[in-house]
Amino acid sequence: MHTEVCPVGAVDDELRSQLLTCWADVTNAGGSVGFVPPVTEADLAPYLDAVVERVHQGREVIALLRVDGEVAGFAVLSLSVSPLRRHWATVLRVQVRPERQGAGLGRALMTGVHAIARERGLEFLHLTVRGGTGLEAFYQGLGYREFGRMPGAIRVAPGDDREELHLTCRL
């Protein structure tokens, strides 16, 4: 099995379609990647296209995970536009295709994200986790530590507000 994580600087139609399918499948399998199920690829398309636009502007980088050449997951590295915040970035949408989860690929994806971030000279990374998911354990195993929680930041449904955990990792 050949696993690779590459930074993507341009997204063509084929890759756009693969990313959309991945994001929808991961969401509908219960993943916390910005939406709640059920979603369709059409629901997510405007959000993915906005990411792609920022990628083409150099404001975001897609870290693409491939296994034997097939798209197995991705994450987005969001660079700050502020001149005072050029030494770190936020990681968003970390996801591995549902049928491939639990086999070490999430760790491989994040190791690749860290390598891409280091190559760009970044000193640390920031990310958020939806409260109640337990996902912080995944990131703690990768060197992240929690530094704060924002109560009620995520409204998964009317009357169901969740806190958001903020984590950071020095590179």
CA distance 46 to 25: 16
Q: State in angstroms the smallest separation of the CB of 83 from ligand COA.
A: 28
Nearest residue to ligand COA by CB is 106
Contact between 104 and ligand COA by CB under 6 A: the answer reads yes
DSSP 133: S
Based on the shown chain and the rule CB under 6 A, indicate whether residue 46 belongs to the binding site for ligand COA.
no
**DSSP code per residue over 74-108:** EEEEEE-SSGGGTTEEEEEEEEE-GGGTTSSHHHH
For ligand COA, which residue of 105, 117, 154, 167 counts as binding (CB under 6 A)? 105
Selected from 8, 26, 76, 79, the binder of ligand COA by CB under 6 A is: 26
Residue 132 interacting with ligand COA (CB under 6 A): no
- Binding flag, residue 95, ligand COA (CB under 6 A): yes
Told to check if 31 binds ligand COA by CB under 6 A, we report: yes
Chain positions contacting ligand COA, by CB under 6 A: 26, 31-33, 94-96, 101-107, 129, 134-135, 137-138, 141
